[in-house]
Amino acid sequence: MDGDVLIRRARTADVRGIRRLIDLQGPGLLLDKATVTLYEHVQEFRVAQRPTDGAIVGCGALHVMWEDLAEIRTVAVDPECQGMKIGRRIVTELLTTARELGVTRVFVLTFETGFFGSFGFVEIDAAPVPHAVYEQLLRSYDEGVAEFLELDRVKPNTLGNTRMLLRL
């Protein structure tokens, strides 16, 4: 299979492909998101599109959480395309976007510690925000923020993953 894919900003027409990639990952690997949430956050996503048939074969999102903090989330690659460095290209693009936005720290909750470690992410123990910011983040309705804060309602979805942080 040709390893050449186009990495680009997601469009609303890509949400069905993003949904398919999330569903292909199996339960417990990614925080499940309602399709409506994917549409609401489509501007956060980058996708990998295969030029031969237009299929979306990879995705990832950058969600700004605070002035200096963003999270990379929902990184997924079609199992048939793994090993083609698609995930690496998507994360590189998301980190570039974080720098452009002025974010100085990027956070990830992951089972793929080796992959994210190769970018310079390091394991951390707790949410890397002061108490006052934590209190503000508690007001968010975003499930990813709830996961970041380790709220009980999302713990069944995140058991066993690792918190990692990269300083840009």
Question: What pLDDT digit, counting tens, does each position of 46-84 carry?
Answer: 999 999 999 999 999 999 988 888 999 999 999 999 999
pLDDT at position 2 over 50: no
Percentage of residues of the chain with pLDDT beyond 90: 60
Q: Kindly state the average pLDDT of the residues 135-146.
A: 59
Q: Higher pLDDT residue, 107 or 116?
A: 116
pLDDT digits (tens, 9 = 90+) for 147-162: 665 545 444 455 568 8
Q: pTM score, two decimals?
A: 0.83
| Contact in structure between 137 and 65 (CB atoms under 8 Å) | yes
Buried b (16+ CB within 10 A) or exposed e, 39-60: eebbebbbbbbbeeeebbbbbb
